[in-house]
Amino acid sequence: MNERHKAHLALLGANLFYGAGFTVAKSVMPSLIQPGGFILIRVLCATFLFWLSFLGGKNYRTKIDRSDFIRLVFCGLLGVAVNQLFFFKGLSLTSPIHASLMMLSTPILVSVFAAVVLKEKFSKLNLFGLSLGVFGAALLVTIAAKDKVAINPILGDTFVFLNASSYAIYMIIVKPLMHKYRPIIVVRWIFLIGSLFVFPFGIQDFLSIQWASFTPNNYLAVGFIIIGVTFFTYLWNIYAIRILSPAIAGAYIYIQPLFAAVIAILFLGEEMSLIKAIAAILIFVGVFLVSKKNT
């Protein structure tokens, strides 16, 4: 298997976890954990896991050039702190369906930013693929599940859109670092820096958590968000961006609602329909066209 195939598999796995993360995170937030506290737990634990790679030998102890630290600071700010603070706060206010819909703006933003910053071509085929993906995913998340009660959907959706914007910029500015250092080295620095930004916003919510109220399933949910939706997804995404373009990585976000629907079918008894199947085909065709364009 060549590197490009591995990169596509990494993106597939990352977005599978992301798709499940909407419902899993909502199961404990904000009922048991406020957004700030959840983010602080997520970032600190993931930072620890990423820095374990330092024990892997000299190949994992590459010194970062001083000139790259400014870029790392912005990656930590946008890719970890701003991204997660806005997403978790938005998800706590809106429904998983609304959040999924708003996240679909990320591929478009990534492609636009890539065209402006990296001078990547933005052809009609690219635009057609993006349009198919957005339409298919919007169709799927609209019919795949019932809306849940949202505290403030308008504000929540706005926060999720800001999260998508910050993550899109992050995916663009992190790419040069991928060509210079190992992905694990880059991501551990990004999380260390991001944790410094997150700490003042999350410490109060963290201290207010009533751990005695947690059930084993609640602990499993938190563990899944930390290990699956944080550790592996960031590592796989940053590995894929090093090999593929940010636009391709962004396009895979279309698959998140598809995975969310499949998980609902398997575990929540949702039924598959012809419309859902058509939506799934549109999503995959959209991703294929964007990938085809940039290969």
Q: Is the pLDDT of residue 108 over 80?
A: no
Residues 6+ apart with CB under 8 A from 44: 195
Spell out the long-range contacts of 119-125 with Cβ–Cβ below 8 A and sequence spacing 24 or more: 120/245, 120/246, 120/247, 120/294, 121/293, 123/293, 125/289, 125/292, 125/293
Label residue 175 by pLDDT band (50, 70, 90): confident
Local structure of 76: helix, strand or coil: helix
Q: Is the pLDDT of residue 258 over 70?
A: yes
Q: Are the beta carbons of 177 and 239 closer than 8 angstroms?
A: no
Q: Is the pLDDT of residue 159 over 70?
A: yes
Label residue 252 by pLDDT band (50, 70, 90): confident
Label residue 40 by pLDDT band (50, 70, 90): very high
Q: State yes or no: cis peptide before 183, omega within 30 of 0.
A: no
The arithmetic mean of pLDDT across residues 49-64, rounded, is 89
Each residue's pLDDT tens digit, 109-153: 776 776 676 666 667 777 787 777 777 767 655 654 445 546 777
pLDDT at 145: 46
Label residue 47 by pLDDT band (50, 70, 90): very high
Q: Which domain holds residue 272?
A: 3-294
The arithmetic mean of pLDDT across residues 76-103, rounded, is 81
The arithmetic mean of pLDDT across residues 170-174, rounded, is 85
pLDDT above 90 as % of the chain? 25
In terms of pTM, does the model score above 0.85? no
Each residue's pLDDT tens digit, 2-11: 888 888 899 9
Q: Are the beta carbons of 174 and 190 closer than 8 angstroms?
A: yes
Q: Is the pLDDT of residue 295 over 50?
A: no
Closest Cα to residue 84, out of 10, 152, 167?
167
Label residue 179 by pLDDT band (50, 70, 90): confident
Each residue's pLDDT tens digit, 210-241: 999 999 999 999 999 999 998 898 888 878 88
Closest Cα to residue 107, out of 132, 74, 79, 140?
132
Q: Is the pLDDT of residue 31 over 60?
A: yes
Q: Is the pLDDT of residue 294 over 60?
A: no
Of the listed ranges 31-45, 87-101, 112-126, the least confidently predicted one is 112-126
Per the model's pLDDT, the better-predicted residue between 26 and 69 turns out to be 69
Mean pLDDT for the chain overall: 81
Q: How many domains does the chain have?
A: 1
